[in-house]
Structure 1
Amino acid sequence: MARIGVEQSLSNIQQALRDKGHDVVELKQESDAQGCDFCVITGMDSNIMGMQDTSIQGSVIEANGLTAQEVCQQVESRI
């Protein structure tokens, strides 16, 4: 299964992804994203300064407005 970094505040999404068998890493700092296939973020403070630099090679999923099930579906469709 995929290794997925998830922001701390998204505990319901962390649990849903674990239930599906994914390796979930809680993102506390930028270096936690290293080695992740996906990162799930809230989107509350994404790209504030208009910069496009990323610290991972995987996909970033913005969870703003999505349910835990919808995030799981996005992960499954991108694997």
Structure 2
Amino acid sequence: MKKVGIEKGLRNVADYLSNEGYTVQELSGPIKENLSKLGGLDVVVTSGFDTDMMGDSTTETKTPVVNADGLTPQQVRSMIERQTR
């Protein structure tokens, strides 16, 4: 199953994905502070705090990022599946 990094504060999403069989790793802070951990992950789920008002995130990573802001855990899972095909 996929390895997912979850930004701190998204416990409901982390619990849901874990129950669905994903390997979940809670990140200790924003993506920029966890760049060294991203290489081993299939996808990162954020709360949107790293995104500016134009919807742009300046964090450079090859790991797909899903912005969970306003999404249900089920919608986040769907986005993860689309991003990691």
Identical positions, percent: 31
The alpha carbon displacement at 1:51 in A equals: 6.8
Return the TM-score normalized by structure 1: 0.80
Is contact 2:48-2:67 (8 Å) kept? yes
Q: Which amino acid aligns with 1:9?
A: G
RMSD: 2.0
The alpha carbon displacement at 1:76 in A equals: 2.3
1:73 aligned to 2:78?
A: yes
Q: Which residue of 1 aligns with 2:42?
A: 37
Q: Which residue of 1 aligns with 2:11?
A: 11
Give distance in 2, aligned partners of 1:65 and 1:51: 17
Aligned pair count? 77
Q: Which runs of 5 or more structure 2 residues have no equivalent in the other structure?
A: none
Distance 1:76 1:53, change over 3 A: closer
Distance 1:19 1:63, change over 3 A: same
Distance 1:76 1:62, change over 3 A: same
Report matched runs for 1:22-33 at 5 Å.
22-28=22-28, 29-30=33-34, 31-33=36-38
Return the TM-score normalized by structure 2: 0.75
The alpha carbon displacement at 1:20 in A equals: 1.1
Distance 1:51 1:16, change over 3 A: closer
Runs of 4+ in 1 over 2 A off after TM superposition: 31-34, 45-48, 50-53, 76-79
Give distance in 2, aligned partners of 1:45 and 1:38: 15
